[in-house]
Structure 1
Amino acid sequence: MRIFYNIIILFFIIGFVSCRDDFNFEPSSGSELAFSKDTVYLDTIFSNIGSSTYNLKVYNKSNKDIKIPSIRLSKGESSNFRLMVDGMAGKSFENVELLANDSMFIFVETTVDIKQQTNGKEFLYTDEILFQSGSQQQKVNLVTLVKDAVFLYPQKFQDGSYESLNFGDVQIYGFFLDENDAVNGNELEWTNDKPYVIYGYAAVPPNKILTITEGAEVHFHRNSGLVTFSDAAINANGSIENPIVFQGDRLEPSFEDTPGQWDGIWISQDSDASFSNVIIKNAIDGLFINKNKLPVNLNNLQVYNCEKNGLLLQVAHVTGTNIVTNNCGVAALNINYGGTYDFIHCTFANYWSRLNQTAVIINNGDGTNEFALQARFKNSIIYGNASESLLLVPANKETNFSFTFEYSLIKFLNSANRFNTESFPYQFTNNTYYTNSLIAKTFNEHQPYFFNTSKNELMITDKATSLINFGNAAYAQQVPQDLLGKSRLTSADLGAYQHVNSSAD
Structure 2
Amino acid sequence: MRQLIYLLFIGFCITFTSCREDFVFETSAGGLEFSKDTVYLDTVFSNIGSSTYTLKVYNRSNKDIKIPSIRLGEGQNSKYRLMVDGMPGKEFTNVELLAKDSMYVFIESTIDYSEYANNTTTFLYTDQIQFTSTNGTQNVELVTLVQDAYFLYPQRDDQGNYENVPFDSETNIYGFYLDEADPNNGNEYHWNNTKPYVIYGYATVPTGKTLTVDPGARVHFHADSGLMVRPGGRLVVNGAQSTTEEMENEVIFEGDRLEPDFADVAGQWGTVLIMSDQDNTINHLTLKNANIGIYAMVNDDSPMPKVTIKNSQLYNCTNFAMYGIRANITGENVVVNNAGVAAAAFAFGGTYNFKYCTFANYFNSYNQVPLLLNDYRQPDETTIEVTDLTANFDNCIVYGSGNIAMSLEKQAETGTNFHIKFNHSLIKVIDYNQLEHDSLYPFGDNDATLVEYLSTKIARTSSQNKPDFVDGPNNKLQLITGTDGEGPEGTADPAVVTSPNTDITGTARGTLPDMGAYESKPEE
What is residue 390 of structure 2 aligned with on the other side?
Answer: 374
The match for 1:389 is: 405
Aligned amino acid, residue 489 of structure 2: I
Number of the residue aligned with 1:497:
518
**5+ residue gaps, structure 1:** 1-44, 49-76, 84-88, 91-109, 126-144
2:420 pairs with 1:403: yes
RMSD: 3.1
> Hey, what does 1:96 align to over in structure 2?
none
Contact kept, 8 Å, 2:297 with 2:304, in 1: the verdict is no
Name the SS of the counterpart of 1:259 in structure 2: coil
How many Å apart are 1:247 and its aligned residue? 0.3
| Counterpart-to-counterpart distance in 1, 2:376 and 2:121 | 54
The alpha-carbon deviation at position 180 of structure 1 amounts to 1.2
In 1, Cα distance between the equivalents of 2:267 and 2:465? 32
For 1:321 and 1:124, locate their aligned partners in 2 and report how far apart those are by CA, in whole Å. Answer: 31
Q: 1:271 to 1:478 in 2, by over 3 A?
A: closer
Q: 1:461 aligns with which of 465, 473, 480?
A: 480
Query: What is the one-letter code of the residue matched to 1:338?
Result: G
Can you list the C-alpha shifts for 1:279-318, whole angstroms capped at 9, x where unaligned? 1100000010013657421001100000000101011111
Q: Alignment partner of 1:260: what SS?
A: coil
Q: Quick one: which amino acid aligns to residue 459 of structure 2?
A: A
The alignment partner of 1:254 has SS state of: helix
Structure 1 residue 240: Cα displacement: 1.7
List per-residue Cα deviations over 1:137-161 (Å, max 9, x = no partner). xxxxxxxx95311000000122211
- Judged with a 3 Å threshold, the aligned counterparts in structure 2 of structure 1 residues 478 and 404 are, in CA distance, closer, same or farther, namely farther
* Code of the aligned partner of 2:264: D
Deviation at 1:80, TM superposition (A): 8.6
Aligned pairs for 1:94-173 (under 5 A) are: 112=111, 114=113, 117=114, 147-167=147-167, 168-173=169-174
The answer (yes or no) to whether the contact 2:489–2:513 under 8 Å persists in 1 is yes
1:3-402 aligned within 5 A: 112=111, 114=113, 117=114, 147-167=147-167, 168-241=169-242, 242-291=249-298, 293=304, 295-365=306-376, 371-396=387-412, 399-402=416-419
Q: Distance in 2 between matches of 1:294 and 1:171?
A: 20
Distance 1:421 1:489, change over 3 A: farther
Unaligned runs of 5+ in 2: 1-42, 48-75, 82-88, 91-108, 123-144, 243-248, 379-383
- Offset at residue 477 of structure 1 (A): 5.2
CA distance in 2, matches of 1:124, 1:458: 25
The answer to whether the 8 Å contact 1:381/1:409 transfers is: yes
- TM-score normalized by structure 2? 0.68
8 Å contact from structure 2 (residues 121, 259) kept in 1 = no
Residue-by-residue CA offset, 1:441-471 (whole Å, 9 max, x unaligned)? 1101001011012321101111333311101
Q: What whole-Å deviation, never above 9, does each CA across 1:1-40 have from its counterpart, x for those lacking one?
A: xxxxxxxxxxxxxxxxxxxxxxxxxxxxxxxxxxxxxxxx
Shift of 1:269: 4.5
What is the CA–CA distance in structure 2 between the aligned matches of 1:256 and 1:457, rounded to whole Å? 14
Alignment partner of 1:402: what SS? Answer: strand
Deviation at 1:256, TM superposition (A): 0.3
Structure 1 124/282 Cα, relative in aligned 2: closer, same or farther at 3 Å? closer
Question: How far apart, in 2, do the equivalents of 1:239 and 1:489 lie?
Answer: 22
Letter in 2 for 1:205: P
SS in 2 for 1:147: coil
- Following TM superposition, by how much is the alpha carbon of 1:369 offset from its aligned partner in structure 2, in angstroms? 9.7
Q: Given that residues 229 and 271 in structure 1 are in contact (C-alpha distance below 8 angstroms), is that contact kept between their aligned partners in structure 2?
A: no
Task: Give % identity.
Answer: 37
Structure 1 pair 124–191 and aligned structure 2 pair: CA distance change class (3 A): closer
| Alpha carbons 1:409, 1:440 under 8 Å: kept | yes
